[in-house]
Chain A
Amino acid sequence: MTAAEAVLAIMWIGLTAYALFGGADFGAGFWDLLAGGTQRGRSPRRLIENSIGPVWEANHVWLIFVLVVLWTSFPTAFAAIASTLYIPLTLAALGMIARGSAFAFRHSVDQLALQRFFGASFAFSSVTTPLFLGTIAGAVASGRVPPGIAAGDVITSWLNPTSILGGVIAVGVCAYLAAVYLCADAQQHQDPSLVEYFRIRAIGTAVLLGGIALAGIAVLRADAPQLFDGLISRGLPLIVASAAAGISSIVLLMRRRLGLARVAAALAVITVIWGWAVAQYPYLLQPTLTVQAAAAPETTLRAMLISLVVGAALLIPSLVFLFTLFQRSQSETKPAAKR
């Protein structure tokens, strides 16, 4: 494994973490959006807030991490992606602004109307942000971002069948992860009605997502042949593993094995993300720009590897501390109103 591949692998771990943790946050906003009126939606909304409150900021630093590693280690790819895809990036950024400020301020305002406004903008942007990030993934996966500054088509690069598939799958994955996680959270709070509430939604989303993924095979075959070839050859074991994990998460949800369902759901997402990476290897930007060609010089990559290892040594214990602290105390305390 070259230094460039090692750095890229670490970046991809960061992207996977963003999908698992940040994605669950977006998905929580998705369920917040669909929770109904103020009265009816009160108890799911409270569980959602209780679950994402402490880890909210940390989950979204993963995206910054991915961006800085990309622009330092693969600057040509970063410049190409950011300049060709500036429209969906701007739209995702607007969603993040709306989402972040709404989440921060909806507890600081007293009037119900303002709280509703911030609540709605939080929920709405929780859906639009992963949607646009998904279209960006679709643009890269279908080879529509050529190297060079704004060398790709600024519209069709992200408005195309693969991008739309990417956007829909991104929203679906967020909703699915969030429902499965929240289901287990509700169980820890010993709230059976909320467990059922999110269990039904988790199963429904999983089935729907499976259907979309099946339809997606046809879309990728027609619209992203290079990726498709990689997926059915080198990437096939991971894609099969993803399908198996997804199906087992449905079975586990039906059998009410919620902790294990959480693991299976996460595995289904991890394998899809790594399946994409394996299928696209050795190209960073299909069809021409390889990982080696896009990589920064050796001195930079070495400095990056050193800092990534040292950083991980600080970061991983801190993250474990954060999550265990709140998982443990969640099972000990009632979901009291926060902030």
Chain B
Amino acid sequence: MAGVLAQAAPPDLFHARMQMALSLGWHIVVACFGVGFPAMVLFAEWRSHRSADQDMNALARTWAKALGVLFAVGAVSGTILSFEMGMLWPGLMERFGQIYGFPFTLEAFAFFIEAIFLGVYLYGWNRLPPRLHMLTGLPIIASGVAGAFFVVAANGWMNTPTGFEIRDGQVVNADPWAAMFNPSTAAQSVHMMIAAVMVTGFCIASVYAVGMLRGRRDRYHRLGLLVPLTVAAVAAPIQIGVGDWIANVVAKHQPAKLAALEALYQSGTAKPLSLGGIYLDDRLVGAVEIPYGLSLLIHHDPNGFVAGLDRVPPELRPPVNVVHLSYNVMVGIGFRVIGTGGLAGLDLVATSRHPAHPMVSACRRAVRPGSGGGAGGRMGGHRGGPATLDRL
């Protein structure tokens, strides 16, 4: 199985890759919460102060605690990854640490600021006045987003290395700024930040969804579902556009990677989009094909030319199956959660036209704390519609 997935790599390289995949696969999920969660926690705290909302207050405190635990786990797994950069990839670091280590240094500062203010925010809850306490949350949001940018910039460099030349086998003319702003950085970092918001929103919402399915349908649980679900549902469709952007960057700068993502062997025009299947002996077997799909996606033209793996020397071809299938799974999950968000939105719109519908009253109760005073009007939105979606 491993052979089919990864094809033949030297055993050491295979093990190093698997270890890195495991650590990074774990870290990236946890790290998403450090990027996407702080704004949600702060929003809940802000609502709790604005309208003296006990449920929002309880949510904010629970979420802050969860954020603290997740951040600690992310800090540890991030430390492990920085060890592994040297233990697993000393050759890469020895030659190129001088070029692309730079954004990691900036990330260390961002991470530091995030850790410091998270400590202040978590332990200062009862020691600081509310306004100052919320202000200490702002650096957490800013440094979380900045940290994501720096780390993804380093990863972008690994995709499209810039900022150096190789002369007689020696790395010369190092330019760490050019390395940081390589062609992949912009699209990749936006993709990652939105993904972080999606991961956070859907994961937190799912916790309260499970609670509601088990019968706990009080206002606390409804809010716990609604706030993160709304954020994630708004973020998810944006990812379609960003996904198109990033795929075009890959097609332009890394045609071999695109060919592996799409499991495309034969270069040519009017290429179909292949979903699923197994790539064996330079052929994709059992895939569902959408005619002209790939050419349309890459060039926005049904007859666009797409380069396949036949253009890549065999020893430089990436392992196709693991890349193609995980790419398909990622896109599939993306559309699945966009559907979830869309359904939630449709439900809100449809039910808002029939005020007697139980979902509407549920939402009304959810977004209107207390006895429906001024705060309810602000949060409940205009013309009585549940405006939570457009409010966020």
Comparing A24-32, A230-238, A244-252, A314-322, the segment that makes contact with chain B is A314-322
A101→B79 contact, CB < 8 A: no
Interface residues of B in 29-78 (CB under 8 A from A): 65, 68-69, 71-73, 75-78
Question: What residues of A have a CB within 8 angstroms of the CB of B108 in the complex?
Answer: 61, 64-65, 68-69, 311
Q: Is the CB of A315 within 8 A of B83?
A: no
Chain A residues, CB < 8 A from B78: 64
Taking a contact as CB atoms closer than 8 A, the residue among B79, B90, B109, B119 that contacts A315 in the complex is B109
Q: Which residue of A lies closest to B174 (CB)?
A: A297
Check: A283 CB closer than 8 A to any chain B CB: no
Interchain CB contact under 8 A, B90 and A83? yes
Q: Check B174–A296 contact: CB distance below 8 A.
A: yes
Determine whether the beta carbon of B91 is less than 8 Å from that of A55.
Answer: no
Which chain B residues have a beta carbon within 8 Å of chain A's beta carbons? Answer: 65, 68-69, 71-73, 75-80, 82-83, 85-87, 90-91, 93-99, 101-102, 104-109, 111-113, 115-120, 122-124, 127-128, 139, 172-177
Residues of chain B within 8 A of A80, CB atoms compared: 90, 94
Contact B115 A57 (CB under 8 A): yes
Given contacts A78-B94, A296-B97, A303-B102, 11 further A-B contacts (CB under 8 A): A56-B119, A58-B119, A60-B79, A61-B75, A65-B108, A68-B101, A79-B91, A82-B93, A299-B176, A319-B116, A326-B123
Interface of B is mostly: helix
Q: Which residue from chain B places its CB closest to the CB of A298 in the assembled complex?
A: B174
B-chain residues with CB within 8 Å of residue A105 when the two chains form the complex: 69
Most buried by A among B73, B101, B106, B124: B101
- Give complex CA distance A318, B117 in Å: 8
Provide 7 A-B residue pairs closer than 8 Å at the C-beta atoms, listed in order of the A residue. Answer: A57-B119, A61-B115, A65-B109, A297-B98, A299-B175, A300-B99, A329-B127
- On whether the beta carbons of A315 and B73 are closer than 8 Å, the reply is no
**Which chain B residues border A149 with CB–CB below 8 Å?**
90-91, 94
Contact call A75/B95, Cβ cutoff below 8 A = yes
Chain A 287-322 residues near chain B, CB threshold 8 A: 296-297, 299-300, 303-304, 307-308, 311, 314-315, 318-319, 321-322
User: Could you say which residues of chain B place their CB within 8 Å of the CB of A101?
Assistant: 73, 76
User: B85 — which chain A residues lie within 8 A by C-beta?
Assistant: 67, 71, 82
State A318–B120 Cα separation when bound (angstroms). 10
Closest to B112 in A: A61
Q: Within 8 Å of chain B (Cβ to Cβ): is A76?
A: yes
Tell whether, in the assembled complex, residue B105 and residue A90 are in contact, meaning their CB atoms are under 8 Å apart: no
For B77, what are the chain A residues with a Cβ–Cβ distance below 8 Å? 97
**Residue among B87, B99, B105 with most chain A CB within 10 A:** B105
Whole-angstrom distance from the CB of A306 to the nearest CB of chain B?
A: 10
Q: Are B106 and A339 in contact (CB under 8 A)?
A: no
